[in-house]
Structure 1
Amino acid sequence: MGKAYVIGVGSTKFDKPRGLRDYPELGLEAAVKALQDAGVTYDAIETAACGYVYGDSTCGQRVLYQLGMTGIPIINVNNNCSTGSSAFVTAVNSILAGQAECALALGFEKMNPGSLSSPWKDREGPINGTNKQMVEIEASKQYPTKEFGPGAGQIFAAAGLEYGEKYGAKPIHMAKISAKNHAHSAKNPYSQFTFVPTPEEVLNARKITRDLTLPMCSPTSDGGAAAVVASEAFVKKHNLQDRAIEVAGFGVATDSSQLYEAHSRIELAGADMTRRASKIAYKQAGVSPQDIQVVELHDCFAPNELITYDGLGLCPPGQAHLLVDAGDNTYGGKYVVNPSGGLESKGHPLGATGLGMIFYLTLQLRNEAGKMQVPNVKNAMAHNLGLGGSAVVTILRRPAFYKKGTSATDRFGYNPALECRRITDGDLAKVRAKEFSDYVKPSIARL
C-alpha cells in the first residue's frame, strides 16, 4: 500500500458564534488557504470529504461549488465531535486506495451560542444510553452536591471525578491543565480566547457543572479548517517535497461493550475508543508514545485531557496527575500537549476541530508554527473524540524525502503562524477551478 501526505493546510480564526459569518464563507476561507499552501488549484482535487455537525444535507457541495463545478465526488461527514478527523481519514483513504492522487478534507461549523443542544426533538438521541447510565451512577453515589449543567460537561466532569477517586487526582490538576492550555492559546492568532488565568483563578471561576468551572470548558465556536492530501507520486510530480508531511498512521474506533459493561464514568467518556485507536495508529506508524513530541488532544473539558493521557499511553495508568505536576505536558517537558491552546481556549467548532489539529501539527512538523513551535518535532499526534461514539488518532511525521524550500510566508505573502488574515478575491482567483458557475456567488471576507 502507498502512503498519503498532507501538502496544504488552512484555517479560519475560531471565533465566538455571533452570526457574522455563514458556513459557506468559513468553509471557503479554509479551503482556499489549504490550496494556496499546497500550491495547487481546485482543478487538482479529485475527491473531497466535508465535515460538519449542524447543517443541512449537502452543505459541503454548497461550500465547494464556490471553488468550481468540476463534478468530483463530495462526501459529507457527521461523526459528532470527531467529524473533522473523520473527514480527514476519508480523504486519506481515497489516496491509499488509489482512487485519487489528490483530495481535499474540509471541516466547518456555524454554531449557536451556549451549551450544545440537539435541534431534533421528535426522535431518540444517539447517546441516550450513556446519559441513562450516567444518571444511574450518579444516583448511586452520595455526593453532597447534586450534579447540574450541560449533559456533555457532566459526563466528562464525572470521568475526571472517578479518576480522582481511583488514583488521587485533585481539582487542581484539572485547573493546571486549563491554565496551561490558556497560556498556550495566547500565542495563537487563530484562538477564540487569549486570556491567561492562573490555576487558582480557574478553580475560582464560575461553575458550569458541579465540578467544572468556565475555563475548564471548550466554548461553542464558528470556524473552518482544511487539508489537501496527496500521493507520493503527486508530491514528486509537482515538486512539493518542501511542504509534504506523511500520514504515518491513523486509528479509528467506535465504542465496544466496555462503554456500558464497565459501569465506569471514565469509559462513558470514550476512554476505550481512545486506547484502541491509538494502538492502531502507533502500530501503523511504527512508533511508541515515547517517540511523540507534540500532541493536539481533544480537551473538550479539562478532565478529558487528564484521562486521555492514560488512553494514549503518555503515562502509566493512573499517573496522569503526576505528569501534570511534573510539567510534562508543556514546553520544556516530555510532551507539549495542545500548543495551539486546545479546545478549551482555541475553540471547538465541531466539524472543523479535527482538521484544525492537522493544521497545527503540519505547521509544527514543517517548523513553521511561529510562537507555538515545539523544538525538534519528529512525530506529532492528533486525538479527536466524539461521544456516541468515534475516536480518531492520527500520527504525522516528516517523510525521508522532505526538503527545505518555499516558506509559508513565501506562499501567502505573510506568516500564517503569526497572523490570521481573511481571504480576498485575488486569493480565490488564484486557486479557483477553470470550470465554475456565476450562479454560485462566493462568500468572501475581505481584509
Structure 2
Amino acid sequence: MKSPINIFWFRRDLRLEDNTGLHHALESDYPVLPLFILDTEILDKLPGNDARVTFIHDSLQRMQAKLQDTVGGSIALYHGKPLEIFKQLAQHHQIHTVFTNHDYEPYAKLRDDEIKTFLTQQDIAFTSFKDQVIFEKDEVVKADCNPYVVYTPYMKSWKEKFKTYTLETYPLNLDQIIKRFDYPNLSLSDIGFTRSRQVIAPYNTSAALIQNYEAYRNFPSEEATSRLGPHLRFGTVSIREIMTKAIAEENETFWQELIWREFFMQILWHFPHTASQSFKPKYDRIQWRNNETEFKAWCEGKTGYPLVDAGMRQLNETGFMHNRVRMLVGSFLCKHLLIDWRWGEAYFAEKLHDYEMASNVGNWQWVAGCGVDAAPYFRIFNPTTQIEKFDKDRAYIKHWCPDFQERSYPEPIVEHKFARQRCLEVYKSALD
C-alpha cells in the first residue's frame, strides 16, 4: 500500500523562505511533495520568449538546487492543465492534503474551486493560506462591512488595523520534503519557450532607496524605484519582509505604495467584473474612437510626444516603464486618442514584467476616469508640460527617444488643445 503524502503547490510564491503555505505543509504529519504546474491555460497565450516565463523557470531551478543540496529533494514540475495534473497525481499517490497559498484573480479563483471540488470527491483536503498580502478580502472594510472604494480611507483603516497586527514570519524546516530526485523537471524548450533576452532586474530595498523614495520617485531618469513589482507578483520575496523594511525606514510614501497594491487586490476580489468592465458603469457608454493606426503609433512610441514615446520604447525594449510615465501614456491613450482603456491594459499585460491584474486594471481605470477613486475625467495630463515637471533636462527622453529632435521624428499625432476639448465633449456627452 502506498504511504500517504501531502503536496505543496507553488503558484505566486516562488521562494522557500517565509512561505506561509509551505511552512504549514512542512509542519504536517506526512512527507511533502513540492509541486509547480506550468499552466497551459496561461502559457498558451504568451509569446514564446516571454521574460516572465524565463524568470519563473529560473526561480524554480534555484529552488530545485537548494532543495537538492540541502535535503536531496526536488520540485515536481508539470506542464498542462492543473486539473488534469491533479487527476494524474491522485492516481499515482495517496494524497492526504494539498497545501497552497491564496490567489485572488478571477481565473485563479475558478481554477482553485474546480480543483478543490475534484480533490474533495477523492477525499483529499485542500488547504489554502494568505501569503502575498498583509490584509486580504474582508479584513479591511468599512464599519458597515462594505468594501472601501476610495484609497485614502482604506489606507487609514489599513494602518489602524496594522497597529495591533503581529507581522509573523514562517521558519523553514525542510525535513519533511520527500527525498527523491526522479520527479519531472522541465527545461524551457520542453514547454515550448526560449530564453528571453530581457532580464527582470533585481529589486532594491536598501535603506538609502527607501529613505529617498519620496524625493526621487517621480523622476524617470533616476534609478529611484525599487523594481519590486515582478518579485511581489511571483512571490520571489515575502511581502512581510518588504513591509518590515518599509516600516523600519519610516518612509510613509514607500509604505503607502505597498498599501495601494493591497487596495487594488481587494477591489478586484470584491468586484471581479472590473477585470473587463468599468467600475462606474456609465463610463462604458463612452464612444471610443479606437483608431487602429493611432493605437499602433502609441504602441511603437511614435506619437510625436517625446515623453510618451520614451515610455513606450522603454516598455518595449525592457519590459519596464517608470510609474510616473505609465500615468502619462495611459492618460494619453484614453484621453488624447480616445482609445478604450482595455486596449492599453491588454498591451501592458503582454509587455510588463510586473503585470499584475489588480494593479494594472486599477491603474488603467484610474487614468480613464472609470474606476474606483479615479482621476476625474476632466483631468488630462499635458504631455509637454509633464516634461518640464519630471524630465526637465530631457535625460530620460534622450536615453529612450534619442531621435526626438531629428527631422525623422514624427509630428504630434494630435494637437493637445484640440484633443483635450474633444475628450471633454465625448466624456460629457456619455456621462450626462
> Per the shorter chain, which TM-score range?
under 0.3
- Structure with greater Cα Rg: 2
TM-score by length of 2: 0.25
TM-score (norm 1): 0.24
More strand by share: 1
Q: Which has the higher helix share?
A: 2
Q: Which has the higher contact order (CA 8 A, sep 6+)?
A: 1
